Each structure stands twice: as structure tokens, then as C-alpha cells.
Amino acid sequence: MKGTDKRTGEVFGNYELQDVIGRGGMGVVFRAKDVVTGAVVAVKLMAPDLAHNDTFRERFIREAQAGPKLNHPNIVRVFETGEAGGELFIAMQLIEGVDLKGLIEQQSPLDPKRVLSIFRQAADALDAAHESGLVHRDVKPQNILVIPRPNDQELDQVFLTDFGLVRPMTSETSASRTGQVFGSVAYMAPEIIEGIPADGRADVYALGCVLYECLTGSIPFERDNEVSAVWAHIHENPPAVTDARPDLPGGLNDVVIKAMQKHPDDRFLTCGEIVSEFEVGLGRKRGRMTYSHARPLIARIPHRKTEREVWSPNFFPELSRVRWASRERFDWRKAAALVVAVLTLSGVQVGREGGLPQAVADVADAAGVVVPSIIRVLNPEEDESSEPSRVAGTGPTAALGGKRGTGSSATGGRNEVTQGQAQIANNPGATAEPGKQHTDLISFSNYVDGDWEIFVVGTDGSGLKQLTDNAVDDWGAAWSPDGQFLVFARGQTGDPTTRGTSDLYTMRWDGSDVRRLTSGEERDTDPSWSSTGKIAFARDFRVFVIDPDGSNLFLLNESGFNPDWSSDSRRIVYLKPFSPGGTQFIWTVRSDGSQASRLTDPDNERDEHHPAWAPDGKTIAFVVNKDPTAPAPVAFLEDWIVVSDMAGVTTDLVPGGEPDWSPDGRWILFDDDGTLKAIRPDGTGLRVIYESGFGWARSPAWRPRING
């Protein structure tokens, strides 16, 4: 919206103010000319009264400080911030386009492929902010600027703006400190509403809301007032895209629903994962929608609240006690409606100064009486101070927080899921039984009685346990991110130099509940489990990704094996053969299959294999063979453990093979001629973990840290 203002033509600081290009409650945005350089920029002038408001001044300072940290092609550049004549201002890059809200209003519904292009850029910008330790906290269509494509053959240019609410991931939210919530309720994550410290997954939630609006033309929880909208964000299931647009693939429901899960642990870990799954979802037919098991956010508040904390200002989360007390009966809806009515009948004005949290605080005393009374009526034996119990699940999807499988495959008949697989337990909040697990375990393969079997042993060398016992080989196990399950290869041979068929299986850490994940005539090996629950593996020297229930098979790379995930699940390191049967090198690729590049020096002809990404994401350990011309029987004698930074600078450590990192990144586990050893990344502290007395110990993997 261009226009004039009484200040048009005024020289403000170093800027000549021209057209008004935006106006809001916080101030006015002008097109302006830098009188020193002649550059055309955008200048945001904050409303004069805000300059004297400590809260908004703090917000302004945060945006000013965030600018230099966020150097990204899809983030609006901030050139200068300051104060002149008592007015706060920000000079920034001028984007000649429209905001996404305007684009939706003009062209709704947007074409899904166009949405994918827009979201790929917006997600990349948000993930870059998260990598810098910042959370945007106000992701909405109005803050996503688009330079529309001139024709259907080109892509829109996208820019993320307005970092006034950005905060470090470890800081408290405004609600927890002041009782005020800033941001747009229509896109606000439950933890932001509650005032609980938030990380990048709050932006994942908001981006899911924006995705729904792009595809349907409506916000996900459209209500008559903000009170009802907040209730919906915390308690109601995300709406299905296909309810509003039946013409869209059902796979898009899963993407929006997972992004908008109430509990951050149930969402995508990064915004980039939304894009990857969105791309996959575009090619999927309509499927059954899945929801994570309802988990009220109070279940993750780290300490027992006092009575005052329970009711003010974080009132809405406590309504989940009503639902749990009603044992899922319809009564809880009536009870919730009664509590919301307390707000309405008390004359709450959400738009007035102080906003929703202050309104909630105003009726806290009444609510403190109403809710416990409702709980006593619904369940007289319920202990009001107790938190909802959580029932343990039994399958890998449950413990990972993943979505329930539909028993179908995106690739046709090869990976059809058996009934047993489809019945993997569906409680993402599952926790392991206390006192029945060894928290420091290493899995490995051992050659026993003519075939390879999988064992576990404590990191101190004690507690050896054999998990498998078959006439075929079991090898190459990888741990699930929660440490409750293993995925491994089972087949005709564990020798990678011999062609044989093999499939992937999963089992619990104690060897029980063995389930087939893949089946066919190919050779499936080298599984690696991501922090978000997906499994990368090699199939006949091609890298694939699959869900732990056997669904959503995705070809990541046409040439590669030995994949391993980065800790944030955004990238995969793998081996790419220079030629079939020839030298192989370390490459990395994004989780969506894009931006594949070689990590190590292209002029280095040393044979490389078995890469393992460090937990901090900054280092990769792998094996090099210093004499790739040596005959096979003695080639392993030339294998050395090597560490490399992300620039490809390597350091040789010690002879050995098949490295893996400890969960804290302080040790590199490896096998040395069948003996399991560990060494620090700087080459010190070499120690023996386990020395097999009856075979070769290979393919070691360190169990992830177990909480609790």
C-alpha cells in the first residue's frame, strides 16, 4: 500500500522520506533515499510514544542486534538502527513486492508447487536464524515478503522480515517475565502463549499455520475472538487441509498436522523438514490423517507449580487437567466451555492494554475456583495436584514421537507393510520402564559360529548380551534417537564385498520385538536413524530414506552408501564411489536430496569410507585407506581413523575402522582388528572398551544418552 504522509519529503537523519509503503500500530514504513550514498531503502519509524515504552524499546533493540547476526539471502538486510529526534528507526533493504498475506488474498488458493517454492526459501531463512541461536517468534504471512515471479517459468523471491520479537533460544519469553504476550495469536505456538521458554520449533508451529493458510486461504483456527483462538491452539487438533480443499493430496494433511503438534517434541525439528515432507506429500494420494497422542504442555513443565503459578498468568494450559480428569468423556468439552464462559461473562476485553494474559489474570481467582470444582465433579477421586499419567508404547514409531503408519508405501509393492508393522504402538509420549535399561551401551556385530550376530556391551566392557541368533547374518546396527530400538541389516552375507540380498529389521534394545522394515531382492544395508525418526540406508549403492514403520520411501541420492545423519537431521554424510568398484569419497547432501558436495579434498586419492557425524555438527570422523592399491586381504591394515572439519581439513588419528561418536562428542568409538576401542578427537586417551575372545567385533554404535 503506497501513499503519502505529512512527513513525505522530510529529511530524517541521513534519509529523505518518500512514499509510505506500510503502516501499522507500531509505526510507519517509508521508501527513503540515503542522502549520502543515494541508495533507496526502507525506513521504519516507530510511533513516538513507543520510544518511551520500555517494553517496545527492548523489542526495538533486539531487532537492531539481530540484524548483523542474520546475513542470509532470504532475510531482509538491516543497514542501520538508531534514534533521531527522540524517534527510533530502522533502515533496511527495500523489497519491491507484496507480503504473503496480500498474495494469499489476491490469488487464494495458491498453487501448491508455488507454495513449495516460497516455503523452501522462508524455511531456509528461519533455519539459518535458528542456527544462530535465535527464534523469530512472530512468523506470519505479513512477515514473509514476496517479489512475485514475472511468469510461470521463474520462481518468486522470498524475504523474511520483522525480527522485533526475536529472542535467544535459552531466554524466557515475555509472558513468563511480564505477563504480556506479543505476536499474532493466529500463528502462535502453545509454548509462546504459555510463556514457556521456546526454541526454533515454535517457528515450526507458526510456519505450519502459514502453510495451512497458503493452501486453503484461511487461518487454521478461525474464531470470533482471541480467547477462543488461544483455546484452540492449545487444545484442538490441527485442521485437515483436505477438508477445505478436497482436491489436494492427503499427504499434505500429515505435514501440516505434524508441524502444528501441541508439544514441540512431536513437531518437525527444523523448518527445512517441513519443506522436505511437503514435497513428498505433493506426490502422495489421499491418506488417513494421523494425530499424536494428546499431551498437555503442563506435562513438560520442569517443576511442580505453586498454586499462584498454576492460575496466573498461564491459565489455559491448566484446562488440560479438566480433559484428563474426565477420562476423555464428552463431559470435558462442557467443562471447558464453562471455563471459557467465565472469561466471557467477566467482560474480558482481549484487545485492551495488557492483552490476553492480563485478561486471564483478571479472572484468575474465579478460574481457580471453577476448574478444581469441575475436576471434583468429573472425578471425585482425582488428586488435583497430580499430572496426567503417560502410557508406554511398544514400537519404534511410538518411542520416536513419529506419526502412525498407514500400512502403505509410496513406492508400490516392494515395501508393503505387514499387518504387524502397521500395528506399531502409537503413543509418541512413551517412556521406557525405569530400572530396566543399561544407560551406557554399545552395540556391535560379532562373528560367531559361522555368521554375524548383534551384541551389546557396557561402555566399561561389562554386561555382554547377545541380541540375535540366526543362521543368516545380522550386522550394522544403528540406534534410534531415544535409545530404545535398533535398526540393522539381515541377509545372506555380512561381507560388503560379496553380492547378496539383505533387508532391514528393527528390534528393541534388549533383542525383543523384531520386525521386518524392508523386503525384496535388493541389498539393503548401512542404516542410520535421524533425530527426527527417519532412517537413511543404502540400497544397491543408492541412498534412500524411510520412516520406521516402512512408509514414505524416498530416493535421496542415485550413487552412495554408508549414510549418517547430522544431529539436526538437516544433512546426511555418505560415500560416493568415484567409479563402480573403485575409490570412494566423502560427500554431504541435504535431507531433501539437494546441495550434494564433496567434503574432502578432490585432489586426495585416498580411499574413504564409514563416515560418522559428530553431535556438534562441526566434525566428521571417517576411515581412510592409505594404500588403496593394496590387495583386499591386507588392505584393512592401512585403514586409519581420520577427523575432518566442514572445510575438509583432516587430521589422522589412529589405525582402525568404522568410527562412531559418543553422545557427548568427547569420544570416538572404533574397531581395531576386532577389538573395540575409544579415543578422544584430539588423538589422546586411547582405551580398550571390549576385546572379543571368540570372534571379531565390528560395526560398533554408541547408544544415545537416555534421559531420566
The C-alpha cell of 693 is what? 575372545
User: What does the buried/exposed string (b/e) look like for 421-435 if buried means 16 or more CB atoms within 10 Å of the residue's CB?
Assistant: bbbbbbbbbbebeee
Residues linked to residue 98 through DSSP beta bridges, in sequence order: 146
212 CB burial (10 A radius; 0-12, 13-18, 19+): buried
Give catalytic status of residue 54 as yes or no: no
Cα–Cα distance measured from residue 402 to residue 266, given in angstroms and rounded to the nearest whole number? 7
Q: Which of 127, 138, 203, 547 is catalytic?
A: 138
Contact predicate 642/650, CB 8 Å: yes
Contact predicate 144/115, CB 8 Å: no
- Residues with Cβ < 8 Å from 430, sequence gap 6 or more? 390, 391, 392, 393, 394, 398, 399
Q: Terminus-to-terminus CA distance in the chain, angstroms?
A: 54
Contact predicate 41/34, CB 8 Å: yes
The C-alpha cell of 449 is what? 559360529
- In degrees and rounded to multiples of 5, residue 609 shows phi and psi of -165, 170
- Residues with Cβ < 8 Å from 467, sequence gap 6 or more? 443, 453, 454, 455, 456, 486, 507, 510, 511
Cis peptide before 109 (omega within 30 of 0): yes
Cα–Cα distance measured from residue 211 to residue 274, given in angstroms and rounded to the nearest whole number? 9
- CA proximity to 292, closest of 198, 486, 430: 430
Dump strand ranges (E) for 502-606: 502-508, 515-516, 524-529, 535-539, 543-546, 554-557, 561-565, 571-577, 584-590, 597-598
Pairing of β 584-590 and β 597-598: antiparallel
**Catalytic residue ranges:** 138
